[in-house]
Structure 1
Amino acid sequence: MFVYEYGPHDNRPSNNVASVDVTLTNMSNLTVTCIVRFYAFTDTPGAQTPTIYGSQIITLSPFGNGASTYLIKNMPTATAFFGVKISANNNEAELLRRVITFNNAVNQPVGSLTIPLISSMPKYAYIVNSGDDTLLVLDQVTKQQVGGLIQLPLNSMPVDVALPYFSIYAFTANSNSLNDSLILTDTRQLGLLPIGKESIAIDTDEPYAIRVFALNNNSPNSYVTVFDITTNTQRPGSPITVGDNAVALQFVPATERLYVANKDDGTISVIDTITNTVITTIPLLPGVPNASAPVHLAASSNGKYVYVAAQGLPGEIQVINGYTNTLLTPIPLLGIPSSAGLIPYRIALSPDDAVLYVASSNSSDLVSLNVNSPAKPALYRNVTMTGGPPEALAVTPDGSEVYIVNNWSSGSTVSILDRSTNSLLPVPVPTGFQPKSISFSNFIW
């Protein structure tokens, strides 16, 4: 993360700046997401907190590929002091051009300059540990633990963690508690969300984390609680009843739908999160009982494809058309070296939606599938984990690495796969006791 800032600019009457333009150009070959904030002070004596009076989220295409430049025009500056701050997720700071232009009262430019880089921000991985009720924070660059373990409520048995894109909160699902946890990530302050007993999975809407979705499993009575953190209340329609023994959920921002995997009845519940109602239930096999046993989900960024790991359907990944909510042809695992008969357990999709990583409950192999060409899914050689099947996995927001949570009798660690070489870093990183899930601080401050 990189932060650029101009100001505070002394804009008392003699300086004659009525508005500013900000031009951003992405010079890199990667997509860049920025948040631009305009802030203001008055000339009142004493300490002040800046007022944010304008904010935009901007996605810039790679250079020369359409929308690689964006112009914010005529942003007013009607206070004594003003400034602009840009936070960007580009890993190549010098490749984002950012120019501020000053305009007078008749919108004529009276000067311009480059908004300087003031800091780079580290990226973190958050790993929830069920055995000791803690949350571990890792620096993604140094691969070192940051501070001490964050202590969650004792005996809460956290099993999942979520961090939305533009938020400073982390959320954990506490499977042995009446409450889930909310952690303010910059101060590590702990709060509790009253969102139901025995929460085993958690997700948030994107990009701001206004709503939190918690999956409460009290089989056969599974339900989803939708909690509004701005009002500290449940949303109308919540809780939402889903299928038997629901074990996983996936929110899709592009379609405002929430997908829930119901393991014991072999179905996927599809929830419209605008109305908080189940709009359809998709069986993965015909007939009752349904032994497909879906246990994990992943979705493409545009919502077109939802991938399902189903333990009762070994040797393949189920695919749902997220626009029509109908089943497509499964992606076979058969024919990939040493993967015949794999029972899919956990899946993770790369940020460009091109590669699906699959961990299995009956193998130590990590398989990568080319989901852009599902008829020929083999992409890279399988990577074999030492000790046993992974517990969880996730691809970093920049797509460079895969973090693989290992919860074996020989030790609790995170293995890190370098995607550029398709090889594991030499030494796994120790975690707390019994790590269960991982998420990344891909938010922008």
Structure 2
Amino acid sequence: MAELHSDTVSVLDTGTDRVIDSIPVGDGPSSTAVTPDGSRVYVTDSGADTLSVIDTRRGEVVATVPVGDEPSRVTVSPDGRRVYVANVASDDVTVIDACRNRVVDTIKVGHAPLGLAVLPEGSLYVANAGSNEVWVVDTRRNRVVATVPVGAGPTALAVTPSGARVYVTNLVSGDVSVIDTRRTAVVDTIKVGDGPAGVTVLPDGRRVYVANTVSDDVSVIETRRGELVDTVPVGKEPNGIAATSDGARVYVTDFADDHVSVIATRRNRVMDTIEAGDGPTGVAIGPRRGSVKRAV
């Protein structure tokens, strides 16, 4: 879990819901991503224009990679070989070779990219908050191949396990755009809470959870019907959100309260609240022991 104001990443054991480590990173950590095998965690250092690479076995930063201006989001390819970083101030995406921790390409995208997601087949989706569009990148050539208009202020993306749908949180318009990836078009728009800033899909693909940073709650969407089915009150200014591999719990970082709300998905109620560092933001859950990495 990335902690923006204390320049650390906290490690939370989801078996006990206790913080078991705190790792210093670069200035202004804002988001995290875990490799498929859980061996590395990547952290965007928004104030330093770098990416910190954490070795999870050693629990320390083993590399720092210069990226674009004000990196906002990071994601990893399904095979773990490429890392993509959205740079909100330079309007581009940095492509990193994960084996060598080196930049291999820079892709110009729309204005103010804030969200990233990779489909199972490898296509990269980029949410551009300043131009109200999602751009689709062919990662074999690192070329933009499609542009999809969405709502106002798209900030975060989540992909269903099959890769058939991409859910886009639109911070300004207060809704979620649903993109059909085969048609590369919006097929539905779902109204949620105020200021949707983060989104995650449960591993079975049946529900989507949306963190609403203005209304201080989490919207629950049933994917088959495309309907809002529940709203869960959480802490103040929720933004980062991630589900466990079994789908039993969803972890939400409450930025203004400096804690994490744990939602039991069977009842859609907060079952626990965990103290975090100063300004918890991006959260990612690794495959090993269900550990949570959050930037604080």
Q: Could you tell me the TM-score, scaled by structure 1's length?
A: 0.62
1:302 to 146, 151, 162: 162
The runs of 4+ residues in structure 1 deviating greater than 3 Å are none
Q: Which residue of 2 aligns with 1:187?
A: 58
What number of residue pairs does the alignment pair up?
A: 288
* Alpha-carbon distance in structure 1 between the residues aligned to 2:260 and 2:216: 14
- Contact 2:32/2:42 (<8 A) preserved: yes
Q: Which residue of 1 aligns with 2:133?
A: 267
* Alpha-carbon distance in structure 1 between the residues aligned to 2:24 and 2:281: 15
Q: Displacement, 1:311? A: 2.5
1:351 to 203, 215, 218: 203
2:185 to 326, 334, 342: 326
Q: Displacement, 1:313? A: 2.6
* Alpha-carbon distance in structure 1 between the residues aligned to 2:69 and 2:59: 24
Is it true that 1:419 corresponds to 2:265 in the alignment?
Answer: yes
Q: Which residue of 1 aligns with 2:2?
A: 128
- Contact 1:257/1:272 (<8 A) preserved: yes
Aligned AA for 1:255?
E
| C-alpha RMSD of matched pairs (Å) | 1.8
Unaligned runs of 5+ in 2: 290-296
Aligned AA for 1:417?
I
Aligned AA for 2:141?
T
* Alpha-carbon distance in structure 2 between the residues aligned to 1:424 and 1:312: 26
* Alpha-carbon distance in structure 1 between the residues aligned to 2:182 and 2:34: 25
Structure with higher strand content: 2
* Alpha-carbon distance in structure 1 between the residues aligned to 2:287 and 2:262: 17
Q: Displacement, 1:326? A: 1.3
1:196 to 68, 73, 85: 68
* Alpha-carbon distance in structure 2 between the residues aligned to 1:228 and 1:385: 37
Rate the CA distance shift 1:166–1:366 in 2: closer, same or farther, 3 A: same
* Alpha-carbon distance in structure 2 between the residues aligned to 1:210 and 1:131: 30
- Aligned pairs (5 A) from 1:30-429: 127-147=1-21, 149-153=22-26, 156-190=27-61, 191-207=63-79, 209-218=80-89, 221-235=90-104, 238-252=105-119, 254-284=120-150, 292-314=152-174, 316-333=175-192, 342-374=194-226, 377-379=227-229, 381-386=230-235, 388-408=236-256, 411-426=257-272, 428-429=273-274
Q: Which residue of 2 aligns with 1:99?
A: none
Q: Which residue of 2 aligns with 1:85?
A: none
Larger Rg: 1
Rate the CA distance shift 1:366–1:167 in 2: closer, same or farther, 3 A: closer
* Alpha-carbon distance in structure 2 between the residues aligned to 1:225 and 1:424: 37
Q: RCO (CA 8 Å, sep 6+): is it higher in 1 or 2? A: 2
Q: Which residue of 1 aligns with 2:294?
A: none
Q: Displacement, 1:178? A: 3.5
* Alpha-carbon distance in structure 2 between the residues aligned to 1:355 and 1:440: 18
Rate the CA distance shift 1:196–1:317 in 2: closer, same or farther, 3 A: closer
Deviations along 1:365-420, one digit per CA (max 9) or x if unpaired, are 2211101111xx143x421124x331221111221101010111xx3001101112
In percent, how many aligned pairs have the same letter?
25
